[in-house]
Amino acid sequence: MADLPMHYAPLSPAELARYFARIGFAGEPKPDLATLQQLHYLHPLAISFENLDPWLGRCPLLDEAAILAKLVDGGRGGYCFEHNQLFLRVLATLGYVVSGLAARVIVADARLARTHMALQVGCEGRAWLVDVGFGGLTMTGPLDLGLCSEQPGSHEPWRLEQHPAAFLLNACVLGEWRPQYCFSLEVQTPGDYLMANWYVATWPDSRFRHELIAARPDRIGRHALLNRRYVRHFPDLPSQETQLASARELHELLQDVFRINTTALTGFEQQLDARLFSPGAT
């Protein structure tokens, strides 16, 4: 087992087994590229990106036990800090050399604060960008950081651009290259993520407080939810959009399509109704 970066504890054999069961991994794990690719593919298909906690006024806990209890044992999803911290611990426990990075998400040509967590993984003599928690366009496989040309993906092609101070990540959606985020290779500490997590979960204008978001890829496309708007995306076909009509319909979608266990969220459906389906809600 490789030394774990940033004082994260390794997963116990029982915890690792529960994680593998959660994502449906049944192989013999080795610190090689084939295992990295398989884990990176299975994780986002099984564990959704979702921001239910900030939307409900709760700041997600980033301690190791809380993330394991929520994403693995509790049947919930989470956002980047939760997904990628869990994945970091899994990979390092298996023997990969892994470190945490920070990225600036690009929205409408604006570069936001460095509030996204991604990973750099060393494997088979190469450095790889790994990210299982980006949301609507979560990667489903690692990208070679030394290859600044188009790289195929199971859902869409990706391309890295290396600039003097940073990398720029692009995704090709229906033939159009779209920038996703920029990042450097400066290693982040747990304190960096605690600060960013607190900011995006509690800042009064944070979209995570005001917009209900969920995303999950599957084997043929992607599912995306923004408030009452559900979109089914396909790699080479027009997307299919549905406006949800009730809190019950939305709640069932979160449970059945996004596979999010909401049983521990007391009064959740009432919150959906009050905030998204009451007169004047958007």
State the Cα–Cα distance between residues 76 and 66, nearest whole angstrom.
11
Instruction: From the candidates 53, 83, 131, 233, give the one annotated as an active-site residue.
Output: 131
**Number of alpha helices (DSSP H) and beta strands (DSSP E) in the chain:** 9, 13
Asked whether 209 and 203 are in contact (CB, 8 A), the reply is yes
Q: Name all domains of the chain by residue range, CATH numbers in brackets.
A: 5-217 (3.30.2140.20)
Sign of the CA dihedral with 74 first, then 79, 85, and 91 last: positive
Half-sphere exposure of 184 (CA within 13 A, CB side): 7
Instruction: From the candidates 40, 43, 83, 116, give the one annotated as an active-site residue.
Output: 116
Per-residue confidence (pLDDT) for residue 238, from 0 to 100: 85
Among residues of the chain, what percentage have pLDDT more than 90? 87
| Residue 70 confidence class, pLDDT cut points 50, 70, 90 | very high
State the Cα–Cα distance between residues 186 and 101, nearest whole angstrom.
6
Among residues of the chain, what percentage have pLDDT more than 70? 96
Per-residue confidence (pLDDT) for residue 109, from 0 to 100: 64
Residue located via tokens 């069961």: 21
131 is catalytic: yes
State the Cα–Cα distance between residues 75 and 18, nearest whole angstrom.
11
Spatial CA neighbour of 211 closest among 197, 196, 225, 222 = 225
Q: The whole model's pTM is what?
A: 0.95
Asked whether 156 and 220 are in contact (CB, 8 A), the reply is no
Mean pLDDT of 227-251: 94
Instruction: From the candidates 40, 43, 53, 80, give the one annotated as an active-site residue.
Output: 80
Asked whether 156 and 235 are in contact (CB, 8 A), the reply is yes
